[in-house]
A and B are shown apart, each in its own frame.
Chain A
Amino acid sequence: QQQVKQSPQSLIVQKGGISIINCAYENTAFDYFPWYQQFPGKGPALLIAIRPDVSEKKEGRFTISFNKSAKQFSLHIMDSQPGDSATYFCAASNEAAGNKLTFGGGTRVLVKP
């Protein structure tokens, strides 16, 4: 059972545009929602994370929007740059379950110059 569904699977955006990736979860016990960026052949790197007590969090060009009632959250990459081309994973975890991360399927983002 895939508990975190991520869309789209791939995304092409022009330099300077906005990349938007969406995730939906099923387990209402999830209480921590990080986004990771992964380049080919490398491990994931934490980008930004949010807890369900806030609806939005911004760090530089990256913004998470969180809708608790809809059980959805999204990542917005503003002013997308070619160096942002990577695979992005949303994830969710539950402290009571040992903070094990459940990952979405990933979104491959290509930013064209």
Chain B
Amino acid sequence: GAVVSQHPSRVICKSGTSVKIECRSLDFQATTMFWYRQFPKQSLMLMATSNEGSKATYEQGVEKDKFLINHASLTLSTLTVTSAHPEDSSFYICSARGDLGETQYFGPGTRLLVL
């Protein structure tokens, strides 16, 4: 149990375009989903927290207009990187937490490369 999926697993896009990443909890209802960014050989950095049906809470330094987060249902959250630039190239990982317990279950990640 506690499986989280992400789609796509990797994406290459041109500078200036927008990219949407989906995060789904497959076998539980995720009241809270988190979005992280991880650069090579570095730790995970929390970008934002989203609760179903409400606006996401962004960490300091993360542009909310650039990284649009939608958590429309208890099993789906999306991250849209708008007007992507090469410096946005990174590994984006989501996690999900149910309403019981504090454990976060992570998705497999999405590798974004902006040319």
Contacts and interface: CB of A to CB of B under 8 A. Distances in A.
B97 interface: yes
B111 A41 contact: yes
Main secondary structure of the interface of B (DSSP, over half): strand
A34 B6 CA distance: 22
B115 interface: no
A54 to B, nearest CB: 15
A89 interface: yes
B62 interface: no
A50 to B, nearest CB: 12
Interface stretch (B14-22, B70-78, B80-88, B98-106): B98-106
A88 B43 CA distance: 10
A99 B6 CA distance: 21
Interface residues of B, number: 25
Contact of A103 (B43, B105, B107): B43
A98 interface: yes
Contacts of A108: 41
Contacts of A95: 102
**Residue from B6, B44, B91, B95 whose CB has the most chain A CB atoms within 10 Å:** B44
Interface of B: 4, 6, 32, 34, 41-46, 49, 57, 91, 93, 95, 97, 102-109, 111
